[in-house]
Amino acid sequence: MSALDLISPALIVRWLARTGDQGFIKPEAPHHLQLTGRLKELINRGGEKISPLEIDHALQSIRGVGEAVSFGAPDAKYGEIVWATVVLKPSHSLGKTEVEIEKKIQRDLEIKLSKVRSGRFPMYSCG
């Protein structure tokens, strides 16, 4: 029996609708959730359009991270905020506690994303 056998299909449908993910539950046992894509390609955080793929790639480039997926979660102030789920490699050395690991990933992610976003745009005669 998998964990999905204990969750109602209606709850999974609501979860998929909230995250913007698209998928289905495999009918054969063990029942697994198969993600097939995204219903929307951008997370809208207070008007800023954020690409989940950019976040996913940055997370997956961190040493010790095996798999990662980011998604938008509803937020009262910003409309949506970025959430992520990470699966660590068995031999990771990111920390001993969940808090240490989370802080290390956040620091590494901030560095990687600021490098991507902090470059200068090429300037031409027209601006």
Structural domains in the chain?
1-39 (no CATH), 41-118 (3.30.300.30)
CB 116 within 8 A of CB 109: no
Given a cut of 50, is residue 119 above it in pLDDT?
A: no
Residue 52 has a CB neighbour count (10 Å cut-off) of: 22
pLDDT for 118 equals 45
Which pTM value belongs to this model?
0.62
Q: What is the mean pLDDT of the chain?
A: 77
Pairwise CA distance, residues 119 & 78, whole Å: 26
Residue 74 has a CB neighbour count (10 Å cut-off) of: 10
Pairwise CA distance, residues 105 & 108, whole Å: 5
